[in-house]
Structure 1
Amino acid sequence: MDALTVHLEGIGWWSPQWPTWAAAARALRGEAVPPQAPVARPAAGVLAPGERRRAPDVVLLACEVAEQACVAAARAAADLPCIFVSMHGDVITTDAVCTTLANAPLEVSPTRFHNSVHNAAAGYWTVATGCREASTALAAGSGSFAAGLLEAALEALAEQRPVLLAVYDVGASGPLAEVMRADTTLGAAFVLNAVRGPQTQATLHLRHEAVPAEAAEARASVAAALPLLRALARGETASLRLPAGAASALVVEVSA
């Protein structure tokens, strides 16, 4: 395929150790970052207090990084089509629902079931921000981040407008932890635009290519994004190959 060119306007990030992109960028550049106590949960200030209390961690994570990216890009969240990407979704809630089904099926919580669906984070976000633009919830196994990045680029170019991409994973618990690679809680978000402008921080050229099946390493959504985030933090020109599914990769050329 021909290369797709999009421009990065804003980045969001959250992890327990580095709850902002500024902190994560310093660490990715190899700078000394003062140690601090891990942050238990993302703030997700975009949610109303009642929703924030009821929302599971994966929703707080997705909303926190999405809000950070919109602020960094100086874009109104309500105006942006959004794509929410997670390799496994809310595995904590899924484990709780499955455990209840196995032990006391009549006690399944409707709220927990509501939160277990893969597009829960997108739903909370669009309601909280008043966004009536298109929203997508996407999962593609080890190629989830590449699929989300490609989807966001295609949508931005097709519509000639900025698009929000949020990627996030939480650590699994219970029996699910034994069968899936989900042992960290990380989230990142990007605002991508078809047009270069004053908010542009970097330019990405994307190209899909076939690779031997064994070359596509299985990594959780945000872990797969780390090479790109490292290049962005360092302001480097880079050529990256992201796992994009069986026998394929997404080549990402990063430039200023």
Structure 2
Amino acid sequence: MIPLSAVIESVGLIGPGLASWVEAQAVLAGRAPYEAARTVVPAPASLPSAERRRTGTSVKLALAVGHEAVAASGRDAASLATVFSASGGDGQNCHAICETLASDDRKLSPTRFHNSVHNAPAGYWSIATRAMAPSNVLCAYDGSFAAGLLESLCQVAVDGVPTLLIVFDTEYPAPMRDVRPVPDAFGVALLLSPVQGADVGTAAGTDTSALARIDARLTDTPASVLAVPEFEQMRRSNPAARALPLLEALAKQRPASVVLDYLQDVQLQLDITVPNGSSE
């Protein structure tokens, strides 16, 4: 396939022991030790109080990483096209609905119901940011990060506009955890924009403030394995964390080629070029 290219302007990140992209960069680059901890997801201050009370972890996580990436880019969130991707929905909410349906009183809360649909985080994002730009919502099981990234890259290439990718997955309680063992929440957002006036070897065209340029293509090469055991376990246990090889390369700010999990026999290769061309 012809490579799909884009510039990564900014990142948002929340995961186990990773409070934000700003704090996580030194850890992912190996300049600071990793301290394991449960994921802490902040309340969505951008939502009106009524909607804020109705949100679950997946909505809070999606909004938090999205806002971090937008704030770092300096762009207007309301004008950005978005792609949301997750391997499932809100696990806690799904569990609560199943409990209700299995009980004698099967009256389902309207709030539970509207939070159960897969595009709920996208809806809350539009409320929080007053966004009216196009928004796509995807699900591709364990390949959901790669699927969301491919969709975002296609939008950037075809429409020629910046696109915000938000990928997230949250844990499931027992007994669903037995068949879907996602142990903790992980969310990542990438602000992608078109490559402007750049040769293939140029990281970000005329914008040297961008983090990197990526060129994506399909491959049958196995997915990249992380050297740090804690990060590799995180990558394998949460579909959204399949982004970690890319995030590690961005944190180290060095040229790299990484392969991300996608389909059973097809993976996604990303060739990463950084503005300064550093090898470290």
If the length of structure 2 is used for normalisation, what is the TM-score?
0.84
Q: Which residue of 1 aligns with 2:231?
A: none
1:143 and 1:181 map into 2 onto residues whose CA distance is: 16
- State the shift of 1:126 in Å: 1.0
Q: Which residue of 2 aligns with 1:252?
A: 270
Q: Which residue of 2 aligns with 1:52?
A: 52
Q: Which residue of 1 aligns with 2:255?
A: 237
Q: Which residue of 1 aligns with 2:168?
A: 168
Question: Cα–Cα, structure 1 residues 39 and 4, in superposed 2: closer, same or farther, change >3 Å?
Answer: closer
Q: Deviations over 1:88-145 (max 9, x none)?
A: 1211111110111111353211101110111100010012211111111111011111
2:28 and 2:261 map into 1 onto residues whose CA distance is: 21
Q: Percent of aligned pairs with the same residue? A: 37
Contact residue 224 and residue 243 of structure 1 kept, 8 A: yes
- State the shift of 1:37 in Å: 7.7
Instruction: Report SS of the residue matched to 2:65.
Output: helix
Bigger drift between 35-44 and 162-171 goes to 35-44
Instruction: Report SS of the residue matched to 2:240.
Output: helix
1:207 paired residue among 217, 227, 230: 217
- State the shift of 1:218 in Å: 6.5
Contact residue 14 and residue 42 of structure 1 kept, 8 A: no
Contact residue 39 and residue 184 of structure 2 kept, 8 A: no
2:38 and 2:95 map into 1 onto residues whose CA distance is: 24
Contact residue 88 and residue 169 of structure 1 kept, 8 A: yes
Aligned residues: CA RMSD: 2.3
1:211 and 1:105 map into 2 onto residues whose CA distance is: 51
- State the shift of 1:184 in Å: 1.5
1:255 and 1:101 map into 2 onto residues whose CA distance is: 51
1:89 and 1:154 map into 2 onto residues whose CA distance is: 24
Contact residue 237 and residue 254 of structure 1 kept, 8 A: yes
2:236 and 2:266 map into 1 onto residues whose CA distance is: 12
Question: Cα–Cα, structure 1 residues 219 and 153, in superposed 2: closer, same or farther, change >3 Å?
Answer: farther
Bigger drift between 84-93 and 39-48 goes to 39-48
1:57 and 1:41 map into 2 onto residues whose CA distance is: 7
1:37 and 1:139 map into 2 onto residues whose CA distance is: 27
Contact residue 84 and residue 138 of structure 1 kept, 8 A: yes
Q: Deviations over 1:130-172 (max 9, x none)?
A: 1111111111011111100010000011111100000111111
Question: Cα–Cα, structure 1 residues 32 and 210, in superposed 2: closer, same or farther, change >3 Å?
Answer: closer
- Spell out the pairing of 1:178-193 with structure 2 (5 A cutoff): 178-193=178-193
- Equivalences, count: 254
- State the shift of 1:22 in Å: 1.1
Q: Deviations over 1:215-238 (max 9, x none)?
A: 9x9653322001100000010211
1:225 has 2:243 as partner: yes
Bigger drift between 157-166 and 87-96 goes to 87-96
In structure 2, list runs of 5 or more residues that go unmatched: 196-204, 226-234, 275-280
- Spell out the pairing of 1:96-135 with structure 2 (5 A cutoff): 96-104=96-104, 106-135=106-135
In structure 1, list runs of 5 or more residues that go unmatched: none
Q: Which residue of 1 aligns with 2:202?
A: none
If the length of structure 1 is used for normalisation, what is the TM-score?
0.92
1:145 has 2:155 as partner: no
Instruction: Report SS of the residue matched to 1:19.
Output: coil
Bigger drift between 151-160 and 38-47 goes to 38-47
1:222 and 1:23 map into 2 onto residues whose CA distance is: 19
Contact residue 142 and residue 219 of structure 1 kept, 8 A: no
